[in-house]
Structure 1
Amino acid sequence: MNTIHLIQQAYKNFQNGNAGHAERSLKDILKSQPNNFDALHILGVICAATGQRDEAAQLFRQALALDGKNVSLHYKLARVQFESGEFEAALRAYEKIIALGYIKPEILLARTVALISLQRHPEALACIDQALAEWPEYADGWSHKGSILYQLGHVEDALACFDQALSLQPATADSWYKKSLALDKLKRYADALSNIDRALAIAPKTAIYLLDRAVILHKLERYAESLSDNETALTLAPENAEAWGDHGLTLSRMKRHQQALVSYQRALGLRADYADVLSNQSLSQLVLGQFEAGWQSYEYRWKKGNADFPRHTDIPLWLGRQVIRGKRILLWSEQGLGDTIQFCRYAALVAALGAEVVLEVDPALKTIAQTMGAFKVIAIGEEFPLVDYQTPLMSLPLAFKTDLATIPAPPFYFKADSGKKENWKNRQNFANGKLKIGLACSGNPGNTNDHRRSMPLQEFAPLLQLDGADFFLVQKDIREADRPYLLQAAKLRQVANDIADFDDTAAIVANLDLVISVDTSVAHLSGALGTPVWLLLPWVPDWRWQLDREDSPWYPSARLFRQEQAGDWQGVIERVTNALNDLG
């Protein structure tokens, strides 16, 4: 049998599933004929098909040395290089094909994808535009253009491209999926859901579609459905760390924290350094009172996808290991105002170790924080003296190995300015013997949990029917949606005009018998002042309030009223009203 027939037979063997036999036959030919183009070519194809990409690339290069203008070989070499992650080499191969005059949509698209893989998005956009200028009916081209625009942050333009792709090829699952991602980015979650449903109708067993549908349902707070989709995705892709992480997060939103920890562990078994999961895990550990593990995991908050930007990282970090007697240390605030109020109590513990403390806080907290003790308080952005160490405030529980039994919880640690306190008191009619109650219904609207923890001002209406109390709205910022009710709530006194910073709020709160507040900085301030505070909590509370208990180990003056089902503020207010009647 001559060489041509041997090569043809080897290829038939490969097609019939006997790749090993075909490979041996071709290698035998190449031993005696190392420059046999057809043998090099077919053996390269077999190696590529069997995952031997390096060998395939070498064989294709040898064949191209014999026929450098063979477009098919350049393309096969480019595919092998791309699949091996050699994007630069693949790009050069695609450009060689184009230089040889073979300018087809699929080649321009392949070059576009290589450029995308190299994060060279503007060049990729120019390349796909070249393809679409010649072939405007090229649906895949429109879909890829949409992907590039999405990566560049031009989401509305991306959406238009996905619509164009779908108008040309409506049965393409991936275009429906990509369109759903763009709608999700635009926070059009209901529309995103309907589009990903279209993708799943075409490709129902696609794990990534199910996983992202679960994410959209999670954002819509349809947690049971989200969990179901997530679990279906996990049957298809049980080794997907992201899916296990999302599964745990959804369980935590359902207040099933112990089960969430199991899912987080599955995710970490697949990806040990998964920062988002480690950070989310810490919140479930802390809410369950597992402080030792929780504080350790909480340090990953700096590495998660939406992490705050840390400051002062050029200064050595202190987490309790070094002796700091005689040293100067910077303690700096992070996250929200309530977090700063809660954790600045640790400044006194650090000072008790013999360190000179510099406490850096939000400018609105500078004056009130100065009432804590004999250490320097500065506002963020102000200059401070040279320090030996730095610690973010919310890492101090880790440094002090805080557990439930050792939470530093003095009766109060802030003091209101006596002059401001007296001045505000003199302008109010406090001679009627009634309870003086402060109310706060909302906090920072930028907080990711705001829609759960804040409530409409009108929810307080049943309280205002009580005759034995005067009510004061003690929050500085009033939401536009609450103003119509505020205008008609004659019994609710608005004091926002008296508030410039937390020093003013403290003077007002210090004159009150009770503060009733959602989970916001006013509640923390009241607890830090030792003023009785009734805290209104959503069904799934922030970790610091733990689960079920009616008191707080952080604030001795706090009493907790919890939703018994998600979104039910009316039930909370009813129990608060009954408790107020009991006081009267």
Structure 2
Amino acid sequence: MTDALDFLRAGATALQRGDRAGAERQVVRALALVPGHGEAWNILGVLAVSAGDPAGGEARFRRASACAPENPAYARSQAECLKRQGWADRAAPLLAGAVRRGALSPDLACDLADLRLGARDVAAATALYRLALTLAPGHARSQNNLAEALGKAERADATADALVRLAVLRGTATAWGAAGAALLAAWRQDEARTALRRATALDPAAAEHWVNLGFAGLGRHAVVPVEAAFDHALRLSPGMDAARAGRGTLRMLTGRLRDGAADYEARLSLPSFVPSRSYGRPVWDGQVQSGKTLLIHADRGYGDAIQFIRYAPLLRAQGMRVVFHGPDGLLDLFRASELVDELSGLDGPPPAHDVHIPIMSLIHRMGTDLDSVPAVVPYLRAPGAAARRWTDRLAGVSGVKAGLVWHGSVAFPYHRQRSPGLEAVLPLTGIPGVTAVLLQVANGRSDLERLRPLGPVLDLGLELRDFADTAAAIQALDIVISPCTAVAHLAGALGKPVAVLLDQGAEWRWMHGRTDSPWYPTAHLYRQSVFGDWTEPVERLRRDLAAMATP
């Protein structure tokens, strides 16, 4: 036995020198003396893999595992060889068999989880990663891969938590930067700022940490440090489009619309802003050409289209033909408002055109600044038949008719921050002389299953088929109450008084610190003074509504 160990030691020494042939000769001598020596077969497997022979490696690791079934490392190496040959389906039962033999280890559990994740069985992968972390709480690979699995399951909060734990384990700028980015994606800006400050302190030259720090601060309207973060990112990486788009957002938030909108064009290179389809004609450069047809296409949410379609009649007045390509839910409303020459839905081909532009780029191409916002309202109107129908429907409603929305679309990650929910706005439903007309559709309606409004209400949410219907209902109301949703934009575009409930980090379009809106003269803004707390703005709005209802 001593001679065999000597041969193995000689083989290991040769391997360290890079002498693979010499190492193999020594190990073969050891096996001639002790054919069942698992570690000798393991070294031969390593030699085969290092020579680019995963099939040969797999055969030798299989022998090693047969000699020492209690050693999970051999089964793991055999499984890795199978994976390299494209046989992951054979690797999984091999590892599971090792577990059944009592050879469980954090690495083995993690390997099994990786296989399940590769097979898109996210639930099983997550459970196995958690098992590995139970066996070894500091197992960094499991923590990292768990975060990946949770990300694939679109569990933003759990992903962020996993990456924070990994950052604590590793303590590197990269790990803290990843944790900060995940916290930002989960819309947990305060925690993101803490993580990203650590990342920038550890690696001040990494532009991506600075840009994410800027976006995290935007969610709190921390104007001065946000601008500094974006500027720093651009000094480190002048061509970084995310930093330019972020700086543009910050500038527009603070009223520097012309410069901000120019920077904001960089968003079009970012994955989340790429239009859902391509257009073959050139992008409009802002030069008005009489007789040419400009296609305006919706590139984000309904609210964006409602806000910026105001530019269409201005361009038509200058001699351009303007057509629109956007979601079906807006077509009847835009057609009735006679804003464009032609329109079509996104499911079909766009109208013929010479040039095109994403609708949010109009603010830049039109050279808009704070003192030149086209703020004449109304620029939208409901179809006549719908307007008459809803006027008749609401004619018998007593008191101040206040339209109420409490939840926006969940398509955007900040929906939890911007949407107060029904419970937060319940005090607005119990005001003497005010009837709450519920305009809430889709997300948020589930609140009505567990909460009862405090006063008289009329629920129209199930009857509103599209924005033409909603516009017609709004025209028959006295005021609309909404967070930052398409309905708030719609009410403003109709010239209807609108109370907009805004979170502390509201979007740039509502500006910073203002109670009015340059885009909607009939809007009054009720902002949070404490992040996440709707009590104070709702109470201010409740008092104002009560005053409206007082004879």
User: How high is the TM-score relative to the length of structure 1?
Assistant: 0.74
Kindly tell me: are residues 190 and 503 of structure 1, through their superposed partners in 2, closer, same or farther at Cα, counting changes over 3 Å?
Answer: closer
Could you say which residue in structure 1 is the equivalent of 2:197?
Answer: 231
CA contact (8 A) 2:245 2:266 kept: yes
Could you say which residue in structure 2 is the equivalent of 1:182?
Answer: 149
Q: Percent identity over the alignment?
A: 27
CA contact (8 A) 2:126 2:149 kept: yes
Kindly tell me: are residues 463 and 543 of structure 1, through their superposed partners in 2, closer, same or farther at Cα, counting changes over 3 Å?
Answer: same
Query: Which stretch of structure 1 is more off in the superposition, 471-480 or 312-321?
Result: 471-480
Could you say which residue in structure 2 is the equivalent of 1:244?
Answer: 210
- The CA distance in 2 between the partners of 1:114 and 1:343, in whole Å, is 57
- The CA distance in 1 between the partners of 2:524 and 2:394, in whole Å, is 27
- The CA distance in 2 between the partners of 1:91 and 1:570, in whole Å, is 68
CA contact (8 A) 1:239 1:270 kept: yes
1:98-177 paired onto structure 2 within 5 Å = 99=56, 103=61, 123=86, 125=88, 129=92, 132=95, 137=103, 139-140=106-107, 142-144=109-111, 146-147=113-114, 149-150=116-117, 153-166=120-133, 169-177=136-144
Asked if 1:412 corresponds to 2:369, the answer is no
Tell me how far 1:427 sits from its aligned partner.
3.2
Letter in 2 for 1:95: G
- The CA distance in 1 between the partners of 2:349 and 2:140, in whole Å, is 56
SS at match of 2:394: coil
Asked if 1:355 corresponds to 2:320, the answer is yes
Task: Please point out which of 523, 533, 536 is paired with 2:498.
Answer: 533
Could you say which residue in structure 1 is the equivalent of 2:252?
Answer: 286
Kindly tell me: are residues 480 and 342 of structure 1, through their superposed partners in 2, closer, same or farther at Cα, counting changes over 3 Å?
Answer: closer
Kindly tell me: are residues 164 and 489 of structure 1, through their superposed partners in 2, closer, same or farther at Cα, counting changes over 3 Å?
Answer: closer
Kindly tell me: are residues 200 and 365 of structure 1, through their superposed partners in 2, closer, same or farther at Cα, counting changes over 3 Å?
Answer: closer
Tell me how far 1:311 sits from its aligned partner.
2.0
Task: Please point out which of 302, 309, 312 is paired with 2:278.
Answer: 312
Letter in 2 for 1:287: L
Kindly tell me: are residues 555 and 222 of structure 1, through their superposed partners in 2, closer, same or farther at Cα, counting changes over 3 Å?
Answer: closer
Task: Please point out which of 334, 337, 345 is paired with 1:369.
Answer: 334
Could you say which residue in structure 1 is the equivalent of 2:477?
Answer: 512
Kindly tell me: are residues 387 and 67 of structure 1, through their superposed partners in 2, closer, same or farther at Cα, counting changes over 3 Å?
Answer: farther
Task: Please point out which of 555, 558, 576 is paired with 2:523.
Answer: 558
Unmatched 5+ residue regions in structure 2? Answer: 1-13, 28-46, 65-71
1:490-501 paired onto structure 2 within 5 Å = 490-501=455-466
Task: Please point out which of 290, 293, 297 is paired with 1:328.
Answer: 293
Tell me how far 1:152 sits from its aligned partner.
6.0
Kindly tell me: are residues 96 and 355 of structure 1, through their superposed partners in 2, closer, same or farther at Cα, counting changes over 3 Å?
Answer: same
Kindly tell me: are residues 444 and 193 of structure 1, through their superposed partners in 2, closer, same or farther at Cα, counting changes over 3 Å?
Answer: closer
Aligned-residue Cα RMSD (Å) equals: 3.8
Kindly tell me: are residues 568 and 444 of structure 1, through their superposed partners in 2, closer, same or farther at Cα, counting changes over 3 Å?
Answer: same
Tell me how far 1:303 sits from its aligned partner.
3.0
Could you say which residue in structure 2 is the equivalent of 1:481?
Answer: 446
Query: Which stretch of structure 1 is more off in the superposition, 138-147 or 500-509?
Result: 138-147
Could you say which residue in structure 2 is the equivalent of 1:452?
Answer: 417
Tell me how far 1:461 sits from its aligned partner.
3.3
Unmatched 5+ residue regions in structure 1? Answer: 1-37, 46-59, 73-89
Tell me how far 1:387 sits from its aligned partner.
1.7
Which string of whole-angstrom CA distances, capped at 9 and with x for unpartnered residues, describes residues 133-156 of structure 1?
786546445435534654664432
SS at match of 2:530: coil
Tell me how far 1:388 sits from its aligned partner.
1.3
Query: Which stretch of structure 1 is more off in the superposition, 182-191 or 334-343?
Result: 182-191
Asked if 1:576 corresponds to 2:547, the answer is no
Could you say which residue in structure 2 is the equivalent of 1:259?
Answer: 225
Kindly tell me: are residues 267 and 146 of structure 1, through their superposed partners in 2, closer, same or farther at Cα, counting changes over 3 Å?
Answer: farther
Q: Which has the higher contact order (CA 8 A, sep 6+)?
A: 2
- The CA distance in 2 between the partners of 1:114 and 1:348, in whole Å, is 66
Kindly tell me: are residues 124 and 313 of structure 1, through their superposed partners in 2, closer, same or farther at Cα, counting changes over 3 Å?
Answer: farther
Tell me how far 1:269 sits from its aligned partner.
3.6
Tell me how far 1:234 sits from its aligned partner.
2.5
CA contact (8 A) 1:475 1:522 kept: no
Could you say which residue in structure 2 is the equivalent of 1:441?
Answer: 406
Which string of whole-angstrom CA distances, capped at 9 and with x for unpartnered residues, describes residues 476-515 of structure 1?
4473432246755451111235422211211111122211
Which string of whole-angstrom CA distances, capped at 9 and with x for unpartnered residues, describes residues 51-74 of structure 1?
xxxxxxxxx8xx89x9897999xx
Query: Which stretch of structure 1 is more off in the superposition, 256-265 or 391-400?
Result: 256-265
Kindly tell me: are residues 261 and 152 of structure 1, through their superposed partners in 2, closer, same or farther at Cα, counting changes over 3 Å?
Answer: farther
- The CA distance in 2 between the partners of 1:285 and 1:234, in whole Å, is 23
- The CA distance in 1 between the partners of 2:410 and 2:87, in whole Å, is 38
Could you say which residue in structure 2 is the equivalent of 1:388?
Answer: 354
- The CA distance in 1 between the partners of 2:26 and 2:307, in whole Å, is 68
Task: Please point out which of 515, 522, 528 is paired with 2:487.
Answer: 522
- The CA distance in 1 between the partners of 2:272 and 2:118, in whole Å, is 17
- Number of residue pairs the alignment of both structures matches: 502
Kindly tell me: are residues 169 and 537 of structure 1, through their superposed partners in 2, closer, same or farther at Cα, counting changes over 3 Å?
Answer: closer
- The CA distance in 1 between the partners of 2:137 and 2:351, in whole Å, is 65
Query: Which stretch of structure 1 is more off in the superposition, 385-394 or 104-113?
Result: 104-113
User: How high is the TM-score relative to the length of structure 2?
Assistant: 0.78
- The CA distance in 2 between the partners of 1:163 and 1:476, in whole Å, is 39
SS at match of 1:314: coil
Query: Which stretch of structure 1 is more off in the superposition, 345-354 or 458-467?
Result: 458-467
- The CA distance in 1 between the partners of 2:449 and 2:351, in whole Å, is 49
Kindly tell me: are residues 93 and 282 of structure 1, through their superposed partners in 2, closer, same or farther at Cα, counting changes over 3 Å?
Answer: farther
